[in-house]
Structure 1
């Protein structure tokens, strides 16, 4: 579901609304992320691995198929499902901010289901705030920013910044190429006697 400039406006709006469902419901985001990682799965796999009830699993898989973010890859029983690629960039009405919706962001939203720090952050700052925090989390893991800089830039407490950065760390390492940041210290002992 990558967006290209030759798509009609109706297709883009439909696709955006499809992705919006994932961003509004952590359980759907978690299911989509599961299918991204598994490449292909049956509803029985979903039930077993995500510990969902049978009715919930079928309902959620069908919802994701209906909105076009999951496809049937094997139509014979048992049906197999796979996640469609999502890479959608949304620009604010003022044109001052862009948010890219990727599997990493959807994964972070899905983790709100089981991670209180992410859930609280989304409650306070919304999904757009989580997208921004994910950007800072990538930069932090690359050694480019600190939690204090994030806190200052976003006008949040350093503790809140540290908590969300720690909560997003597993997402960052799963989706982004992070080179190990190593500090090197040169100690000059020539002046010591």
Structure 2
């Protein structure tokens, strides 16, 4: 669902409204992200994986199909559905531009299950989350730190670290960035040796 110059204004507005629904309703975003990750899946697959009630799952899938962000991939029973690629750039009132991608929709979809993402959206909105996601990608590539993000965005280093950690799995799923280095927990260090060298 890329915004291109050969599309009519009506198509672009419809696309924007469809994506806006995803960004305002985390359960829809979560379901869209599931189809995007799986490639193709049935409603039964989705309701099992996401622990949805059957009626709710069918209602949500129908809404996503009607919105044009999910399509029927295989009409044989049971039907298989697939997410359509979203790549929509919007300009905010402050003239900053934001690109709405499947990774951003995935992050919004995790709002109900990740308190750090939920708090960040409450404080900074979805546009702020989009900015944090770009910092998360840069951090996983080794280009920025949480302190630089905190300084750039005028937030606390703790808030920056919390959202970057929450967004880390999304970055690795969507951007194909290899894990680099080891966490402190993964290091095999004898506490006595560390104390001797301190």
Quote the Cα distance in structure 2 between the aligned partners of 1:94 and 1:163. Answer: 26
- Look up the SS of the partner of 2:112 in the other structure: coil
Shift of 1:3: 1.4
Quote the Cα distance in structure 1 between the aligned partners of 2:45 and 2:178. Answer: 34
Contact 1:143 1:181 (8 Å CA) reproduced: no
Partner of 1:185: none
Contact 2:172 2:178 (8 Å CA) reproduced: no
Structure 1 gap segments, 5+ residues each: 183-193
The answer on 1:158 being equivalent to 2:120 is: no
Quote the Cα distance in structure 1 between the aligned partners of 2:99 and 2:106. Answer: 13
Task: Point out the more displaced range, 112-121 or 169-178.
Answer: 169-178
Quote the Cα distance in structure 2 between the aligned partners of 1:142 and 1:7. Answer: 34
> What is the 5 A alignment of 1:54-73?
54-73=54-73
Quote the Cα distance in structure 1 between the aligned partners of 2:76 and 2:180. Answer: 48
Partner of 1:173: 172
Contact 1:142 1:180 (8 Å CA) reproduced: no
The answer on 1:8 being equivalent to 2:8 is: yes
Shift of 1:180: 5.8
- Look up the SS of the partner of 2:73 in the other structure: strand
Structure 2 gap segments, 5+ residues each: 182-198
Partner of 2:26: 26
Shift of 1:93: 3.6
Shift of 1:74: 2.3
Partner of 2:46: 46
1:67-98, Cα deviation, whole Å (9 max, x unpaired): 11011122242222111111111112443x11
More helix per residue: 1 or 2? Answer: 2
Partner of 1:115: 114
Quote the Cα distance in structure 2 between the aligned partners of 1:62 and 1:180. Answer: 37
Partner of 1:132: 131
> What is the 5 A alignment of 1:67-86?
67-86=67-86
Partner of 1:87: 87
- Look up the SS of the partner of 1:90 in the other structure: strand
